[in-house]
Each structure stands twice: as structure tokens, then as C-alpha cells.
Amino acid sequence: MPMQGGGGSLPELQQTISAGEFQFYAILIYSDVDTNFINFLNLSHDALSIMSGKKVFVFWFENFERDSILLWKPGNEPSDRKLSVKRNDSLRLAKALEIPLSNTPCLLVCRSLEDKEAVVYSFDNTWSHEHLAEHFKAVFDTLEDFLNRFQKPQTFYTYESLDNRFMNIRIKKWVKRVISNQSIGNMLRAIATGVTVAG
């Protein structure tokens, strides 16, 4: 299972990103130790793709080698470099953003891959399939409602408001805004190319 999202080929995804059609990017962070969560993703892949809709691009790390949007920036030509990432590489992003490992698996949500701020919604690997499903449904309902209410909110207000909305649906564990010195996209590109990642 490669990084997934709004569907279509790499050039189609690049055009959609360039046109600004994605309103949120959601990155799943988890590792080999999160076996229950992995099983949930494997069984729910198509449903999650539909739930995320056309305005939220969801992707996650799995074992694969291919061209990737992570090495491409809006306004630039697609990179000729190949991406090689594995599931556990997502933990490098968690560490760079100072997300405690005990709060993974989680979903990192940002307005743009070039943002330095994001909201993290944490799951629990011990939750049942049904419990995880309810949380994903609530997260995507929250994002859709947010987009319906605020067409082009200011970045700060977006993250503060989204953080509060996620806390309202949170039953357990952790919701937090994280801020880094570099953009989420730069950290992802560093991970994809094997460069050391720093928050």
C-alpha cells in the first residue's frame, strides 16, 4: 500500500496540489509495533479514501519505491528523484515534531505541506476496529464541517479552531498543535531522501 490520497496518477495529484484544490493534508504516523492500527488501515483503505473526500489529501508511509509528491513543490518541475520510504520512517517525522512515541499512532493535519504548524490527533493501538472507525469518521466529519464553515480562514485561526474541534471529539489520549522551525513538506522530503530531520 503506497502513500494514498485524493486518487489519480502522480501528475494528476501534482496538478490538484498546484491548483490549491486540497484544503488539508493528513499524514498517518505509525510503525510496525502498531499492529492493530495497521490491520485497521489494511481493511479500511477504500473507506478512508472516500471519507477523506476530495479536499483532504490523506497519505501514509508504506514499503514502496516510486515517484512521490513529497519531492515536488508547487511552482517547480516534478523531481526526477525516486522516493524510498518505509512505514517506520514516519517515526522520524514524529520525533522531529516532538510528538511523543506513546502518542502514536496519530494523524497529523496541516493546511499546506509548506506550513510549519499542524494539529495532531492521537489514536490508541489497543482500540477495536469499531472504535478506530468511529474516531476516523469523527475526524473527517470535523474537517468537512470546518471547510463548510470557513472557506479561507487565516492560518493561525485555522489551527487554533481545528485544535479545539478535535478536542471536542477526543475520548482518550492526545490532541495538540505542533510548531516546527521548518515546513512539514521539507521534513517529509528530508525523510524521503534519507537526510537527517530536525524540527
pLDDT tens per residue across all 199 residues of the chain: 333 444 444 455 555 555 556 788 899 999 999 999 999 998 988 888 888 888 888 877 775 444 454 544 444 444 445 556 678 888 998 999 999 999 999 999 988 878 888 999 999 888 899 989 999 999 998 888 887 776 655 555 677 777 777 777 765 555 666 777 777 777 777 776 666 666 5
CA-closest candidate to residue 88, choices 34, 161, 134: 34
129 phi and psi, to 5 degrees?
-55, -45
* CB atoms near residue 29 (< 10 Å): 26
5: three-class secondary structure by DSSP: coil
Against a cut of 0.75, is the pTM above it? no
**pLDDT tens, 119-134?**
999 998 888 999 899 9
Q: What is the CA radius of gyration of the chain?
A: 16
